[in-house]
Structure 1
Amino acid sequence: MFSRRQILAGAGVGLVAAPAILRAQQLLTAFPFRLGIASGDPSHDGFVIWTRLCPDPVDEHGGMPMGPVDVDWFVYEDVGMKRVAQKGSATAWPELGHSIHVELAGLQPDRPYWYRFVLGRDKTQLGRTRTLPAPGAAFDRLRFAAAGCQHYEDGLFTAYAHLAREDVAFIWHYGDYIYEDRARQVNYERDGRARVHVRDHVGTECYTIGDYRRRYAQYKMDPDLQAAHRVAPWFTTFDDHEVVDNWTSTVSPYQPDPALFAIRRAAAMQAYYEHMPLRRASMPSNGAMQLYRRSRIGDLLTTHFLDTRQYRSPLPCKGGFEPTCPAVADPKQTVLGGAQQQWLERGLSDGGSRWNLVAQQVMMMPLDRQSEPGGGEIRNLDSWAGYDAARERMAARFAGRGDVIVMTGDEHQNFAGELRRQGGKGEVAAPEFVVTSISSGGDGWVRPEVQAQLRAHNPALQYVSDQRGYAVCEVTRDLWQTRFRGVDQVTTPGGAIATLATASVERGKPAINLS
């Protein structure tokens, strides 16, 4: 093992081979914490703090020696770092890309903490995180943010710079933290226009663990993303681009051999764990991850974070924006899988919270996406709109409660609408808020006339907008408010933030009120 003393002084030459010692000494020629820090998965008495040693982000191994390295960590009760709450040493193992996940427990509920990592003379910036109220404790008000879909080539992460200035208890990232596309690939928007690259990916399309590590390192070096990680703990879930576009379970649209896709999926999941502030319970095992999980925040809110990729039936029809085929109505098709569905139903039955947040990746509302008058129905079949029976089961479970809010990402647009039974034409089961992207889609790609057609064909849809940004939710005992926050540009620096709309829901009444 490379201790801090060995790295600093070049000691221990007799203990390891000379080339490894050279790599250890070279570690000091570049700052090892270039990917920043993060905290996540907060509970009432702790959280995870994360970093990864990576002095050379382009290198497959981050420019690190092929051996374990000890790193000190500190958690403080005050921003002045005078009162140490806990401290210790963690080992950065090469098997996990020299990433570190420290799980803290035994802290006080519902209060902020500050943290940093130290390796020899090198120190990270100071991060701020917090614990949540104890489950069942009386609690009256919560603010949190939702964000995701951050294609590096499509735009700058300006929205994260603004999000870093919001006062929120946590940030939920709904997926597409990276995009697996190859560098300088010519992409096209859904309307056929060429997508302009603001900045290019480094390297090839991601297939191996080295490819994915390099891609995460490039994203993680963005200063605005780092700033958003430093101010609050994150709950993270993946969607499709952390692996490959439109994958489901063991199926990739681009690899007919499931054995080969399994290799790629395993590499992607390892890299995802290496770069997210996740607990050890989510460490990949046998090519899979345990990502659906629950958090009870006082007696105010229970959050159910879903996984709509690992257990989903293959995409029906051709799996794109297209008319439906008979497979869409197949009652055996599933989005969550049996075990996760039962887990969610048990959680919703437990009671004890004023509100339930169902936080997931792909839209539940079966919107008709036709953009021309007089055309036939078009759906996004890589969403719950491609799984009618599964969606109806969910809608039936939500109906009549008045305490369920569905939140979603993936679409690169803001939507506020009603999840209705009977194919979107029946009883309102729950409101659904779909949050736009951080950068995916650039400055905007949906023409105003297309947005108007979308509203005309979907009476359940109350609001739609096409700007990059995030959402801030304020939850009180009887009122839920979602503020859609948007920046006016991401293809050039200096984008200004504004509240585009505020959607409110009274507890017990699933109707959406806009202001």
Structure 2
Amino acid sequence: MTSVGAFAGMPRVRADGQRVGRISEFPFTLGVASGDPMPSSVVLWTRLAPRPYEVGSGLPPAGVVEVQWDIAGDEQFRNIERSGLTTASADFGYSVHVDVSGLQPGRSYWYRFRTGAWSSPVGRTRTAPAADASVRELRLGLASCQQYDGGYYTAHAHLAREELDAVFFVGDYIYENAIDAQAGERRLPAGSRLPEVFGHELKTLEDYRLRYALARTDPDLRAAHAAHPWVVTWDDHEVENNYAAGVPQAGEAPEGFLARRAAAYRAYWENMPLRPAQSPSGADMRLYRRLLFGRLAQFDVLDTRQYRSDQAYGDGWQYPGPESQDASRTMTGAAQERWLLDGFRTSTATWNVIPQQVAFSRRRLTLTGPSRLSMDAWDGYPASRDRVLQGARTAVAGNLIVLSGDSHIHLAMDIKQDFDDPRSPTVGVEILGSSITSGADGMEKPEDWAELLAANPHMSYYAKRRGYVVITLTPTHARADYRTLAYVTRPGAPVTTGASLVTRAGAPGFHPA
């Protein structure tokens, strides 16, 4: 067995830091998680919270707890391959991030944590294939937008039972809104109430920590984390609705907003299975990163919130004009854009996949005449979108797939070289997944179903149910299976497949499977 350091690159807890005494209550209430799989390493996560609904989670405001971790090649832990000791510090919300190295590529592992007399639930993870591996198939989950008071996380129960290599979660893990005592659309049973601590909008580090704890008390979310490694990125609600870089939505001084953003970013890192390299520095946190899965797929995970230009004409659906069409406007910021285009140039993968937050393709609302467009999505930043597509064409980075969330609907869209000309070449596809709960139950065919599909001939599927997407990548094709649930405002909904679409390698464009 080999001990692997957990906090390389992080501020170190002083060797004489006060040890927390015996923990008398089960501390692993928030479950376990893994993430960012590489061929020889993966991140393991947990956070100690004996009382998750209390400020401080039932642990002292200062101190450290020693935590043992194990990773094994079998679920019974007869063959423990790596283990070690680390510390969970109050400075980081008693979270644990262990970057385990020395693993075998393309292999499943099981992991657990222990402290004192307590053992965590067991999680299952999987490393990425070797960089030069010829991979026959990858199966991925796409999920986003899980407002706690929007309904039950039943979709995660189904996601946990899927056979997947990884889950990509593309934003809105929490929402910053106040939650009433009955948890909104969850409508807690008589006699059950949420504590008043959740009844205000999030502003402080403790506010954000508590909201993550609330989300993780859901057993279905814990099951999905324990079943698969996750690759995460944020959107707006992890801080505030529709914020843009250092600009709040409304009514908050910039300096106060940056302090709020710093608190939100810190809580995000504490609660996600991310490496120390992603830990924030004040109000800044580099989240964009690249993951390779053999020769089959390159994943360029984007951050379209921290560096973007402010929305033109407000953050809603507006008619485009000179401000939104300004060539200097950016969704990614200059450094991230260069990084992305450089990645296109060096990619040798069959599929170039961009997991990111908001709708990438054009979405008109009307069939004729000028149409309002979403100023918060890439339609509000067309020059930025054009630079990304031009960079992919110049680099001959074929088989482009964009993964998106945010909109609380399922959409399948062909990415056009020129969205103003429906006959222009298709240069990739976009898989936009619906929400886990946000928007409550929804409907299969909303009122604007026929009009939206007619106004956007590059759009081949549109539904407004809650759910997620299962994506299968092979050397010859990519398949998107859109899973839907009929309701989330009560638990136990069955899952169905609303549509299955395929795009062929070398011939971009969606077709029925």
Partner of 2:489: 491
1:398 aligns with 2:392: yes
* SS of equivalent residue, structure 2 residue 52: coil
Q: Write out aligned runs for 1:1-12 (5 A).
A: none
Does 1:336 find its partner at 2:332? Answer: yes
Q: Deviations over 1:421-459 (max 9, x none)?
A: 334423322111101111111110686331111112111
1:63 paired residue among 58, 67, 90: 58
Shift of 1:148: 1.2
The answer as to 2:422 corresponding to 1:428 is no
In 2, Cα distance between the equivalents of 1:163 and 1:359?
18
Describe the superposition over 1:174-228 as per-residue Cα deviations: whole angstroms up to 9, x where unpaired: 01000000123999xxxxxxx8564587231100001001100000110000000
Q: In the alignment, which of 199, 203, 217 is matched to residue 203 of structure 1?
A: 199
* Deviation for aligned residue 1:286: 2.8
The answer to whether residue 237 in structure 2 is matched with residue 237 in structure 1 is no
Letter in 1 for 2:42: F
Q: Give deviations 1:217-270, integer Å, cap 9, x for gaps.
A: 000110000000011110010000000000111011124421110000000000
* Cα distance change, pair 375–205 in 1 and its aligned pair in 2 (3 A): farther
2:48 aligns with: 53
2:102 match: secondary structure? coil
Aligned to 2:81: 85
2:420 and 2:413 map into 1 onto residues whose CA distance is 10
The one-letter code of the counterpart of 2:307 is: Y
Counterpart of 2:452 in structure 1 is 454
Contact 1:72/1:119 (<8 A) preserved: yes
Look up the match of 2:124.
128
Aligned to 2:353: 357
Q: Say if 2:350 and 2:398, in contact at 8 Å, map to a contact too.
A: no
The yes-or-no answer on 1:179 pairing with 2:175 is yes
Deviations 1:154-187 (A, max 9, x none): 1100000001000101101001000000123999
The 3 A distance-change label for structure 1 pair 437 and 208 is same
Equivalent residues of 1:505, 1:511 under 8 A apart: yes
Summarize the alignment of residues 116-195 of structure 1 with structure 2, pairs less than 5 Å apart.
116-184=112-180
Deviation at 1:380, TM superposition (A): 1.2
1:388 paired residue number: 382
Whether contact under 8 Å (1:243, 1:265) holds in the other structure is: yes
Structure 1 segment 19-38 matched on structure 2, within 5 A: 24-25=21-22, 27-28=23-24, 30-38=25-33
Q: How far did residue 79 of structure 1 move? A: 1.0
Residues 38, 229 of structure 1: 8 Å contact kept: yes
Shift, 1:493, TM fit: 1.5
Structure 1 partner of 2:12: none
The code of the aligned residue for 1:352 comes to: T
Question: Any conservation in 1 of the 2:410–2:462 contact (CA below 8 Å)?
Answer: yes
In the alignment of these two chains, the number of paired residues is 487
2:265 aligns to what?
269
Q: Distance in 1 between matches of 2:256 and 2:431?
A: 36
Is the 2:347–2:397 contact (alpha carbons within 8 Å) kept by the matching residues of 1? no
Aligned-partner SS, 2:103: coil
Question: What secondary structure sits across from 2:66 in the alignment?
Answer: strand
2:11 aligned residue: none
Q: Look up the SS of the partner of 1:79 in the other structure.
A: coil
Q: Work out the CA distance in 2 between the residues paired with 1:89 and 1:16.
A: 16
Q: Partner of 2:479 in structure 1?
A: 481
**1:323 CA drift (Å):** 2.0
Q: Does residue 43 in structure 1 map to residue 51 in structure 2?
A: no
Map 1:290-301; keep pairs closer than 5 Å: 290-301=286-297
1:299-342 Cα deviation digits (max 9, x unpaired): 11111101101110001101102222321111110001111111
Cα distance change of structure 1 residues 147 and 334 upon mapping to structure 2, 3 Å threshold:
same
> Aligned residues: percent identity?
39
Asked if 1:507 corresponds to 2:505, the answer is: yes
Match of 1:94 in 2: 90
What CA deviation, in whole Å up to 9, does each residue of 1:63-118 have, x standing for no partner? 11220111111111111110110111110011100000000001111111100001
Q: Could you tell me how far apart the structure 2 residues matched to 1:333 and 1:275 are? A: 32
In 1, Cα distance between equivalents of 2:79 and 2:156: 30
Residue of 315, 322, 327 corresponding to 2:323: 327
Distance across 2 between alignment mates of 1:446 and 1:250: 37
Per-residue Cα deviation, 1:336-376 (whole angstroms, up to 9, x for no partner): 11111111111111132111101110111121134xx7775
TM superposition score normalised by structure 1:
0.91
Match of 1:416 in 2: 412
Runs (5+) with no aligned partner, structure 1: 1-14, 188-194
CA contact (8 A) 1:369 1:380 kept: no
CA contact (8 A) 1:479 1:506 kept: yes
**What one-letter code is carried by the residue in structure 2 that aligns with 1:51?**
T
